[in-house]
Structure formats: structure tokens, C-alpha cells
Amino acid sequence: MSPMSFSALDAAAYRISGIAARMTDATTAVEEIAEVAAAASAGATPEQRDVFAQFVAAQMALVNDLDDLRQRACGLRCELAGMAEEIVTRKRLDRARGIIATRHRISTEAADEFLRRQSVQSGRGLRDLAESVIASETRLRAACDESELGAA
């Protein structure tokens, strides 16, 4: 058996690099890399197999690292979405608190307590309740604007 040329191993290395670069699932990528590596190193000399095995091991480590980074990124995206949603909720609660405080001429602390009490009594979430208050205020302002236009 003649020693395998480096060009065949180079082609396999190029293919393995491509698998690692476009992988979406680490398990599948590792399996594909192992298949390509086994087929490519079959006719290689022991020295060639050693060098190629080191390359393959490095590529598999990169696949695992990339998978870890993708999982962390996914977790961070979820965390960021949760934080963005929390900010929106807080803004709505602050706006509803201000509307209630102005409408009933009470402090924002008392308005906050009123919202919390209403939430418990109605079984509705604070965000849902705040959105109702804001929608009610919007309708009230629209009705006032229409009546002002009609009077003019």
C-alpha cells in the first residue's frame, strides 16, 4: 500500500473545516468529522495520521467551543428579551401609576398600592391592569379632544 498523498488529507481537512464552520448541531458535526477523518486517514502513513489526528482533535474542540458559545448566546438573548419585557412593563406601570395619581389626586405611592390591591382583587396581572388604565386614559383624552373640536 502506498502512502496517502497530503493532497487527499488536505482535501479532507478542508472538508472538516467546512463542517465545523457551518455546524448547527455539535453532535452531528462531530459525527461527520469522525466519518471524514476515518475515511481520509485509512491509507496514510503513521506520521501523517498523527498530524491529521491532531488537526481533527483541534477541529472537534473548536466545534465544542462553538456549541458552548452558541448556547451561551442563546441564553443571553433570552435574558435580554426578558429584561426588555421587564422594562416595558415597568414603563407601563409607571405611566398607569401617574394617571391614577393625577386622576384621583393621590401620591404615586398610594396609586401604586391602589394598582396592587386592584390586581389582587380582580385576579389580573399588574401589567394587564396598567394597560387597561392607559387604554382608558387614551379613550378619555380622545373623547375630550373630540368634544373640544365640536365646541370650536
What is the reported pLDDT for 119?
95
What ranges do the domains of the chain cover? 6-73, 85-151
pLDDT one-digit tens code per residue, 90-145: 999 999 999 999 999 999 999 999 999 999 999 999 999 999 999 999 999 888 88
Give the three cell numbers for residue 28.
452531528
Looking at per-residue pLDDT, the higher value among 111 and 21 belongs to 111
Residue 134, number of CB atoms within 10 A of its CB: 16
Instruction: Taking residues 69-86, report their average pLDDT.
Output: 95
Q: How far apart are CA 135 and CA 141, in angstroms?
A: 10
Domain 85-151 -> CATH class: mainly alpha
Alpha-carbon gap, residue 62 to 33, rounded angstroms: 12
On the question of pLDDT at 19 being above 70, the answer is yes
Taking the C-alpha atoms of residue 103 and residue 98, their distance in angstroms, rounded to an integer, is 8
Selected residue with higher pLDDT from 22 and 116: 116
Q: How confident is the model at residue 1 (pLDDT cuts 50, 70, 90)?
A: very low
Is 121 exposed, middle or buried (CB count within 10 Å of its CB: 0-12, 13-18, 19+)? exposed
